Structure 1
Amino acid sequence: MLNLLRNLLAILLGILLGATVNMALIHISPALIPPPAGVDVTNTESLSLGIDLFEPKHFVMPFLAHALGTLAGAMIAYLIAAKHKHRFAYLIGVFFLCGGVAASFMIPAPGWFIALDLVIAYLPMAWFAILAGQRIQPHH
């Protein structure tokens, strides 16, 4: 029963931490890399109308938000899970990958960014979380 609770906590905290890191980075993004004039990055319609004004630099923070959010979530899931830790890290990676796939249909972005984001920001970050977790908890 304790293992079940730890594993459920690993999933819940992995999703919560990953989403918090993601949203925090998205929130500070306009202060670090201002969007093109007149584009409201919190509004899908505004993004659709202004996406042609975006330069590659405007995609740095969304990519980092997705990658670092997944990394943080997968890491906490790995560290908390009772057994089969790598499976819980990958579960968090798949969860956020599904969100990335959904976002690629809802939020306009160039194909190169969508491909880069979906291929690198999720499952590879879960794998990096596993590698880091193994260094922190080498006996597991």
Structure 2
Amino acid sequence: MNPVLRNTLAVFAGIIVGSIFNMCIILISGSIIPPPKGADNTTMEGLKTTMHLFEAQHFLFPFLAHAIGTFTGAATTALLAFNHKKKLALVIGAFFLLGGIVSVCSLPSPMWFTVVDLLFAYIPMAYLALKLTCKKR
């Protein structure tokens, strides 16, 4: 297979796998840590108006979803790519970081969560994934 095509498909696969993991974790989060009473997490508008009801525990699964989604996406890309594995894994981290920035701008969240999420869930997880998958030969 053409290396450019393989690298492109690896990036798309990483985005898809990372997004699936992210969404699965978000979907199960409400059954493990139920949202606060009166919170509407079914729509963006509902989240915006009831975000003030959320406590620190309610931000655990969104952080894990962002971190694990980025990790699995970057690992998938690094494993499937023909070459430039490290660069492409970091591209996945940057892609999910951009999504995180959009999320932070769209939904009000506590400043501590914004800082922790943007600093530790994306680029560090992509870096960890590439370190675990791209061994020195």
Superposition TM-score, scaled by structure 2 size = 0.95
Q: Tell me by how many angstroms 1:134 deviates.
A: 2.3
1:99-130 deviations in Å (ceiling 9; x for gaps)? 00011111121111011100000000000001
Taking the aligned partners of 1:40 and 1:77, their CA distance within structure 2 comes to 35
| Aligned twin of 2:125 | 125
Cα RMSD (Å): 1.1
Matches of 2:130 and 2:44, distance apart in 1: 34
User: 1:89 and 1:15 mapped to 2: Cα distance?
Assistant: 10
Q: What is the aligned partner in structure 2 of residue 34 from structure 1?
A: 34
User: Using the alignment, how far apart are the partners of 1:86 and 1:5 within structure 2?
Assistant: 17
**Which residue does 1:43 correspond to in 2?**
43
| Structure 1 equivalent of residue 112 of structure 2 | 112
The residue that corresponds to 1:56 in the other structure is 56
1:40 shift after superposition: 2.0
Give me the identity figure in percent. 45
Amino acid at match of 1:53: L
Name the amino acid aligned to 2:14. Answer: G
CA distance in 1, matches of 2:21, 2:62: 11
Correspondence for 1:15: 15
Confirm whether residue 102 of structure 1 aligns to residue 102 of structure 2.
yes
- Are residue 5 (structure 1) and residue 19 (structure 2) matched? no
Question: Residues 14-64 of structure 1, C-alpha deviation per residue, up to 9 Å, x if partnerless?
Answer: 000000000000011100100001212231221122112111000000000
Contact 2:86 2:134 in 1 (8 A): no
Unaligned runs of 5+ in 1: none
Q: Report the TM-score when normalising by structure 1.
A: 0.93
CA distance in 2, matches of 1:41, 1:114: 18
- Structure 2, unmatched stretches of 5+, are none
